[in-house]
Amino acid sequence: MATNSVIHRERNRCPLYTAICAIQGRWKPMIFRRLGDGSLGFGELSRSMPGITIKVLRQQLRELEADHLVTRSVPEKRGLQVKYRISTHGQTLAPVFETLWTWGTLHLAHIEKTGDRSA
């Protein structure tokens, strides 16, 4: 029987698990999608996603920054807002999200056709 430590080390070396951890989160895909059109300020992001709290948006952005998927730029002049954008490294995720978007669209159509959410 494998110990939790061994399982944890193995999981941390798994590329698929690593990728899923980087993008998992209720709001991360939507944040990423909105930033795909260009840089946005915190308020713009918040207003574009009704239902997200400021606390959660801040947390999700910090996690995306920590994973080097989003960059945060602070203007030199006071009074101007902080801007977020997808980093160069984060842009490598664009094809992954496009593939997931396409699959999700097909899956939603399948669910609508069959009427079965468990499909």
What tens digit of pLDDT does each residue of 42-69 get?
Answer: 999 999 999 999 999 999 999 999 999 9
Q: What is the pTM of this model?
A: 0.79
pLDDT at 39: 94
- Identify the three-state secondary structure at position 86: strand
pLDDT at 34: 94
Q: Are 23 and 60 in contact (CB under 8 A)?
A: no
Q: Are 27 and 88 in contact (CB under 8 A)?
A: no
Name the strands in the sheet holding 40-41, side by side, starting at the edge strand that comes first in the sequence. 40-41, 83-86, 70-73
Strand partners, 68: none
Q: Does the pLDDT of residue 2 top 60, yes or no?
A: no
Please give the domain boundaries of the chain with CATH numbers for all domains. 4-114 (1.10.10.10)
Q: Residue 15, class by beta-carbon neighbours within 10 Å (0-12 exposed, 13-18 middle, 19+ buried)?
A: exposed
